[in-house]
Amino acid sequence: MVWMDELRGDGRAGITSALVRELVAEQAPQWADLPVRPVAADGWDNRTYRLGDELSVRLPTAPGYVPAIAKEDRWLPVLGPHLPVPVPQPVFTGAPGAGFPHPWSVRRWLSGEPASTAGIADPVRLATEVGEFLLALQDVDATGGPVAGEHSFYRGAPPSAYDEQTRQHLHVLDNRRERDLARAVWDEAVAAAPSAPPVWFHGDVAVGNLLVRDGSLVAVIDFGTSGVGDPACDLVLAWTSLGGPGRRRFAEVVGGDEQLWARARGWALWKELITIPGSRTPEVHRRIVRDVLADPVVGRS
């Protein structure tokens, strides 16, 4: 089957509107007459399609992303009522079928445009709104929640989970001074122990997962790497997207001690280092690395 051949390479390639229509017709015939169309800005872990005007279909692109479906089905209804903006609402979970080897899900459609495409008109405003969202998420009772680990790709775990990978990628930096600074930042992140109990974290607070309208945050999507653990991984936005004034405001809203921000800085460094090789815009990620190295955000100037 074509799907299985394509899955061995890019798992996204075999996921099409025709496949979605076939899955829906087989397993959710109540929606079989609704039009199916791809979204304008798609993700990597999953492909997403509009199903009519009020629903979306989400299909994982590889086996490693499948556990997120059951996790989100279980916990999004718990988290949603406590958060200041909407999050995805699961309404149906499909089984493998039509040659597609994974479970898939149907969610309520959330309106808004990803900040990755809409742009950030007011970084200070967005920093405030995202910071308040994260504080509300952290305040949700974490009892019984999924502890950070493989299902979250170790978001929420100590940065040391990626120690070997980070050190192996230091060579991508341009000069010895940057490499030495990066090594020192990473050493500090690994040494910075949490001083607070585990809380809920999102795991991928990136502009592609922040929906905005008229410059304001209106929804947060993609909780596939969420769990209970250290929220430092949720703070990388400070360096990747907010700029200096937004970064300061974000830190002001979120709070936290120097150890938290040292770990967050390490997460940001790790992400950019591993993204530089093969990136179509490596200089963008090198610039972010320079911001990470220059600005610890809190505790030191």
- Judgement on whether residues 249 and 120 belong to the same structural domain of the protein: yes
What beta strand segments (E) does 168-265 contain? 199-201, 210-213, 216-220, 227-229
Tokens (6 digits) for 40: 């304008």
Residues 136 and 166 in one domain: yes
Clarify whether residues 211 and 132 are in a common domain.
Answer: yes
Name residue 195's amino acid.
Answer: S
148 lies in the same domain as 65: no
| C-beta of residue 112 within 8 angstroms of C-beta of residue 95 | no
What is the number of structural domains in the chain?
Answer: 2
**pLDDT one-digit tens code per residue, 39-89:** 987 778 999 999 999 999 999 999 999 999 999 999 999 999 999 999 999
Among 68, 89, 109, residue at a domain's last position:
109
pLDDT band at 126 (very low <50, low <70, confident <90, very high): very high
Which of 91, 109, 127 is at the close of a domain? 109
Give the Å distances, CA to CA, from 197 to 125, 131, 192.
29, 19, 14
CA distance 157 to 200: 12
The domain containing residue 102 runs over which residues?
A: 2-109
Please give the model's pTM, rounded to 2 decimal places: 0.93
Q: Per residue in 134-143, pLDDT tens?
A: 999 999 999 9
pLDDT value of position 41: 77
